[in-house]
Structure 1
Amino acid sequence: MVVNMHSRMSLQCGEYFRVLPLLVLGFATYQIDRTNISSALTGGFASDIGVNQNTINLGNQLMFLGVIVLEIPSNMVLQRVGPRRWISTQVFIFGIIATLQIFIRNRTGFLLTRAILGLAEAGYIPAAMYTLSTWYTKDELTKRIAIFFFGMFGGSAVAPLLGAGLLKLDGRGGMLGWQWIFLLEGCWSILVSIPLFTLLPEHTPQKAPTHAEEEGSKPSPQWNESHSTPLPLSTIYKTLTNYTKYPHFLATACVFSTWSPLTTYTPSIIMSLGFSRIDANALAAIGNLLTLPVILFFAWVSDRTRQRGLTVMFAIACYLIALVLLRCLQPNVGKWGRFGLWTTVNGLAVGYHPIHNAWIQVNCGSAGERSVIVMSATAGLMAGTQIFRHDDSEDGYPRGLLIMIILVLSGLVLTLVQSVIYRVLNRSKGSVPQEI
């Protein structure tokens, strides 16, 4: 009996350490397929299929709309079929769709493909975050979520580097550079679905009883609820009507919306400064790579101070300052000065997001509730696709940058309001303490 218990615990330990790396790998792949259009644009994708920037914005908007439409239904399916089959199937499907983008020839094909890609990607983030919440305790979950988002931002950093390399294949095999980007990166997603299907654990472990529990003493903290727990409509309704968390949702939508135009147009902006398309993609990766140490720094500040709300406000304020400097200084500096300003903005754009997300997660009442709140970030990304417009592009998007400044400032104020709400709730008699 003791041998069996040790064998079971050893097996569970191995599965425990497989979950997060596999989900991070899937997230990086997901993000590459979502954002590789930025590299395709520098390879002449828009002109080759006969569309303008407004159509590109609309296509990206349809993609995010597809994510929102199927996000909650996808997580309901997750409860029934389990993470291994559902997550791997999603990665396989959106890999196929991403690959088929090589056949896009006109506006209709582009819009239709982007919409279908969004529908296929809809469930990955909430499913992965929900799965994490069932494998890690509440104390462990915060850091795991921050690591999980490294997949997203790591994918954004790698995408332009891959684009720079793949654009060199332009003309090989009778294919254009942007077709090679869609083909090879889509095929990579299909390959990633294989280890997700074969290695991702199917079931949440049940924590073995401690000696104290066997003797009838007070039980130790339990793991979070199993993935088989259904996601009732009442949970969805309760989450959407919980006004005490509205500042969280609105702040996420406001600030995260500004990342959408950056991921799509930064390589094109850098190319407009006089760099070649390959150099522009390589240089665009610098800002995205800077995101990783920035996230680590703010995560360190959050852990040291135990003040997530204040850390989020600090990170957003740094991003706001960078945007203001870009808006004010870029008309008066040269090529490399503008590159430095745009790189700084990209590096600081999402430094707040993992900490903010973790702050939300630890104040949620259930894993089902956690899966619902992801929609606010996606809604922000969808709205943000329209911030940079063609008629504003010639001078470095001054109008778009002003809109971004207003949105980030609004997010900063909303984060302050949320922190105040938690403090008031903590002072209320009989309230459940909220982490601030």
Structure 2
Amino acid sequence: MISASAKGDEKRLSNFTSDPTPEDSSISIRAEQQPAWNPAEELKARTKVDTTVLPLLFLGLLVFQLDRMNIASALTGGFAVDIGVTQSTINLGNQLMFMGIVVFEIPCNMALQRVGPRKWISAQVLVFGFIAIMQVFIKNRGGFLATRLLLGFAEAGYIPGACYTLSTWYTKRELAKRVAIFFFGMFGGNAISPLLASGILQLDGHRGLRGWQWLFLLEGLFTISVSVILLLFLPGSPSHPKPLFGQGLIKFTEMDSNILRRRLELDGGEDLDEQGLKKIPLAIIWKTVTHYRRWPHFVSTFVVFSTWSPLTTYTPSIIMSLGFDRTRANALAAVGAFIALAVVFSFAFISDRTNQRGASVIAAQTCYLVTLIVAHQVQPHVGKWSRWGLWTAVNSFAVGYHPIHNSWVQLNCTDPREKSISIAMWVMSAISGLMVGTQYFQADDKPL
């Protein structure tokens, strides 16, 4: 005897509509390989991914950015003076952190592919949070340089690894938009970091700790709490959707798992192992790295990020040097980051509306270049509020192209494994630019 529920499941699997909409089903699936399930069932399964995997990876990137960015606000709280280091040492420390990320970017991405996201990503965020807390105990130059280098090692591979993880859940047509949403974790971190710092730094002297120590401590504890959330709720793969511990808030049924796995197979027939993860052989890595058409993406990303790098460290200090107090300077530093969200949305809208990814990226980078030139020419001749406006404009346009560029890179990759390595190379280019850019602003450049 077949139960009523079993008959219902069988009926749903057979009620496939042959004319699905682009949003509610995967139109990348070829007509000759139409799946045997109802598009409503596919939408339900994909929504579960949208409400678990995507926001959790977004949250992980947010805390990475918070812990990486808080050095900028710590400097306004007397951090460099308290530990007895110069601006050159701060630049060197950031350079070491970015170097650590670059060196281990691809190896960590491959390790995640073997271990699985549930274990690797959760452990990575936990270690990063622990090292972030250790900054509370920095006393001298050696301690600062060591912790910055360790932070780089701990962060390596997270962005390409998260993008790879997303590619194990979404079809080609769905992936670009989800990766763009994921990157808003970075922009969100940029926006809220100085705002949080403006409040936390007011704890200066409480329980014998300096304001910058409270900053590292509280944001590091928040990062560790996020790692616990990942352990409890991050699904592994369509084949093994349960989190590492517990059942998770949203449960994937066997039908959900089958739909998610089968639609990926129909979308590209990727080579999946028994854990539902994609194998990335060395031949794919070599093919991707030596593909000359990829390198203009990497070079342009390197150049733009090198100019943005010093802004991520010194914007609050620059605004403070204009005559604003510490709290106001950190609050004003957040304005550019919030406007950057609108800039990113605007260029993303133009990109989607015109379907011209390359032209949108070039237009966004051109706007940034024009803003830099205007700021350089005008700044010496205006007052403090106008100079703040110029710095805010520069911060607003600095990374407006970033998510669109990511989509552009992905859309030019036919193999998801090649896509994963291309994103890793692209992130390495951005981090290399950040590493070089740490030396752009020197102490003798003051006051301009």
Q: Give the TM-score normalised by the residue count of structure 1.
A: 0.85
Is residue 150 from structure 1 mapped to residue 184 from structure 2 by the alignment? yes
Pair 97,4 (structure 1): closer, same or farther in 2 beyond 3 Å: farther
1:93 touches 1:120 (CA, 8 Å); kept in 2?
A: yes
- Corresponding residue SS for 2:298: helix
Counterpart-to-counterpart distance in 1, 2:378 and 2:133: 40
Structure 1, residues 39-96: CA drift from partner, whole Å, max 9, x if none? 0000010111111111101100100111111111111111122111111110011000
**How far is 1:395 from its partner?**
3.0
* Deviation of the 1:2 alpha carbon: 5.1
Percent identity at matched positions? 57
Q: In structure 2, how many angstroms separate the alpha carbons of the residues matched to 1:382 and 1:349? A: 16
> Partner of 2:110 in structure 1?
76
Matches for 1:181-196 after TM superposition, within 5 Å? 181-196=215-230
> Residue 45 of structure 2 contacts residue 259 of structure 2 at CA under 8 Å; is this kept in 1?
no
Counterpart of 1:323 in 2: which secondary structure? helix
Residue matched to 1:431: none
Match of 1:221 among 250, 259, 267: 267
Give CA-to-partner distance per residue, 1:351-410, whole Å, 9 cap, x none.
011101110012123333323322111111111111111111x132xxxxxxxxxxxxxx
Aligned counterparts, 1:2-81, within 5 A: 13-81=47-115
Partner residue in 1 for 2:369: 320
Partner of 2:123: 89
* Residue among 387, 391, 395 paired with 2:444: 391
Alpha-carbon deviation of 1:204?
Answer: 2.7
Question: How many angstroms apart in 2 are the aligned matches of 1:350 and 1:128?
Answer: 20
- Kept in 1: contact 2:271–2:279 (CA 8 A): no
Within-5 A mapping of 1:362-377 = 362-369=411-418, 370-371=420-421, 372-373=424-425, 374-377=427-430
Listed one character per residue, the Cα deviations across residues 222-263 of structure 1 (whole Å, up to 9, x for unaligned) are 586656222222222112111121111111111122221111
**Are 1:282 and 2:335 matched, yes or no?**
no
The answer (yes or no) to whether the contact 1:135–1:223 under 8 Å persists in 2 is no
Q: Secondary structure at the match of 1:36?
A: helix
Give the whole-Å Cα distance in 1 for the aligned partners of 2:414 and 2:323: 51
Separation (CA, whole Å) in 1 of partners of 2:260 and 2:77: 58
Supply the distance in 2 between the matched residues of 1:315 and 1:225 (Cα, whole angstroms): 36
**2:144 corresponding residue in structure 1:** 110
1:264-292 per-residue CA deviation (whole Å, 9 max, x = no partner) reads: 00000000000011110000000011111
Is it true that 1:297 corresponds to 2:346 in the alignment? yes
* 1:287-330 superposed Cα distances (whole Å, 9 cap, x missing partner): 01111111000000000110001001111111111111100000
What is the match of residue 359 of structure 2? 310
Aligned: 1:200 with 2:234: yes
Q: CA deviation at 1:115?
A: 0.3
Aligned pair in 2 of structure 1 residues 173, 338: CA closer, same or farther (>3 Å)? same
* Pairing 1:329–2:378 present: yes
Give the count of matched residue pairs: 389
* Structure 1 runs not aligned, ≥5 long: 214-218, 397-436
Where do 4+ consecutive residues of structure 1 move more than 6 Å? Answer: 5-9
Q: Give the letter for the 1:260 counterpart.
A: S
Post-superposition Cα deviations, 1:120-158, rounded to whole Å, max 9, x if no partner, equal 110211110111122111111121111111100100111
Give the counterpart letter for 1:230 in structure 2. K
Contact 1:55 1:107 in 2 (8 A): yes
SS for the counterpart of 1:208 is helix
Distance in 2, matches of 1:64 and 1:312, equals 24
Q: Report how far residue 171 of structure 1 moved.
A: 0.2
Gaps of 5+ in 2: 1-5, 14-40, 240-256
Taking the aligned partners of 2:201 and 2:188, their CA distance within structure 1 comes to: 20
Distance 1:192 1:209 in 2: 26
CA contact (8 A) 1:33 1:98 kept: yes
Amino acid at match of 2:267: P
Q: 1:123 to 1:221 in 2, by over 3 A?
A: closer
For residue 87 of structure 1, what is the amino acid of its counterpart? I
Contact 2:133-2:216 within 8 A present in 1 as well: yes
Residues in 1 aligned to 2:194 and 2:148: alpha-carbon distance in whole angstroms? 19
Larger Cα-atom Rg? 2
Across the aligned residues of Structure 1 and Structure 2, the Cα RMSD in angstroms comes to 2.2
Which whole-Å CA distance do the structure 2 matches of 1:19 and 1:170 have between them? Answer: 37
2:175 maps to which of 123, 133, 141: 141
The CA distance in 2 between the partners of 1:260 and 1:183, in whole Å, is 24
| Separation (CA, whole Å) in 2 of partners of 1:224 and 1:52 | 51
Q: Matched residues in 2 for 1:16 and 1:138: separation?
A: 15
Alpha-carbon separation, structure 2, partners of 1:258 and 1:209: 41
Is the CA contact 1:136–1:223 (under 8 Å) kept in the aligned structure 2?
no
Task: State the AA in 1 paired with 2:415.
Answer: S
**How many angstroms apart in 2 are the aligned matches of 1:41 and 1:306?**
43
Q: Is the 8 A contact 1:158 1:285 kept in 2?
A: yes
